Amino acid sequence: MESEGEIVRHFWSPPKKKSNPDTRRSLTAARRQGSTSTPDSTNNQHPLNDAAQSVNPDTPIPSSSSSREVSTIHDFIGVNIELQVNDVDFRIHESRISKFASLHQLVEDARRVNPLSDTLAIAVHGDNKLVSDFLSTFELLSASPLEHVDFSYEVLVSAARISTIYDYPTLRAFCIKQLEGLPLGAIEHLRIGHTLNLKPWEERAYQELTEREEAITKEEMLALGVDAYFEVASMRDKRQKDQITRLTSDLRAMPDTRQDDKLASHRVNGNVSPAPPKLDCDALAIYEWDFSLSHSPGTSKFEGSRYCA
């Protein structure tokens, strides 16, 4: 298996010093559309359904630039593959796509049909993000291994999507690892999870939205969708109820300070005076009646009823 450093090293080659006028014009047109790389383009003949395993094509995918309105994009290196992506042609060398198992299979099929042809044509079709995703992928693969390049969030997501659709596991793992090192918020985690079918990323986003104190924004609600928003809202509601339950339980477990105040009122010079004893009122009534009979009128009566329980 390739190391991460070999991913870009395998595809990069220095540009030729000279190129024909058509090449320069096409590259200039590509740059005007926002491309930061010099990927190739080609013609293709064999369609391939874009529906790939573990990728949701309907999920909005961030892109570093809009779809290029360029008929042909030439590469500096030798061309032997014409790759048509929707209505855009990439003229590239086979080495640029040889690690993508699905694309490699298309090349082999085309070679069996035209074994003597110097240039083989293949085609793939997909959503309106596919062209820009391929451009971002070629941008990543064209980076020089001698320079440290911090790829943007959009480029990494696009390359991860292409590597998932067309079966290049090493590139997919590289992109995901790079994305993990970026300071991403809940929405970015959620979109990446949806796009690349990464359940842990989705769960991380749900947990972050559930545990934070701030309310969910409108943008986050739209990114979540109805079902996910309802799930997150339910989790937030349950968390708040659990907090109230714990708080109530803690309050009930606290000691009764009123009894402590009564004991404190009997403290004298650091010593605790015993509280008056609680008496049986029925027994006290009999005692007081007997006591009054044994004394002459006018004698003071023992008043103990105030100490009755």
Share of the chain above pLDDT 70, in %: 58
Nearest alpha-carbon partner for 146 in 281, 254, 12: 12
- What is the reported pLDDT for 10? 46
- Model confidence pLDDT, tens digit, residues 30-65: 444 444 333 343 334 333 333 334 455 454 444 434
* Long-range contact pairs involving 84-88 (C-beta distance under 8 Å, separation at least 24): 84/42, 84/43, 84/44, 84/45, 84/121, 84/122, 84/123, 84/124, 85/41, 85/44, 85/123, 85/124, 85/125, 85/126, 85/130, 85/131, 85/134, 86/125, 86/126, 86/128, 86/130, 86/131, 88/41, 88/131
Sign of CA dihedral 121, 80, 164, 53: positive
* Distance in angstroms (rounded) separating the CA atoms of residues 22 and 76: 12
pLDDT interval class at 212 (50, 70, 90): confident
- Which H or E element spans position 85? strand 81-85
- Model confidence pLDDT, tens digit, residues 72-86: 564 546 778 999 999
- Give CA torsion, residues 123, 128, 131, 135, to 10 deg: -160
Q: Which of 89-103, 136-150, 161-175, 277-291 has the lowest mean pLDDT?
A: 277-291
* Residue 145: alpha-carbon gap to chain centroid: 29
Q: Could you tell me the CA-to-CA distances from 94 to 10, 69, 91, 213, 281 in Å, in that order?
A: 12, 24, 10, 52, 107
Beta pairing class for 267-268 and 271-272 = antiparallel
Sign of CA dihedral 252, 254, 258, 259: positive
* Residue 18: alpha-carbon gap to chain centroid: 45
* Distance in angstroms (rounded) separating the CA atoms of residues 162 and 50: 10
* Long-range contact pairs involving 24-30 (C-beta distance under 8 Å, separation at least 24): 26/70, 26/72, 26/73, 26/74, 27/73, 27/74, 29/70, 30/68, 30/70, 30/73
- What is the C-alpha R_g of the chain? 39
DSSP 3-state assignment of 279?
A: strand
Structural domains in the chain? 4-181 (3.30.710.10), 185-253 (no CATH), 277-309 (no CATH)
What would the mean pLDDT of 127-151 be, rounded to a whole number?
Answer: 88
pLDDT interval class at 293 (50, 70, 90): very low
- What is the reported pLDDT for 82? 92
Q: Could you tell me the CA-to-CA distances from 268 to 21, 88, 225, 256, 274 in Å, in that order?
A: 106, 96, 69, 22, 11
Specify the pTM. 0.57
- The answer for residues whose C-beta is within 8 angstroms of residue 235's C-beta and 6 or more apart is 206, 210
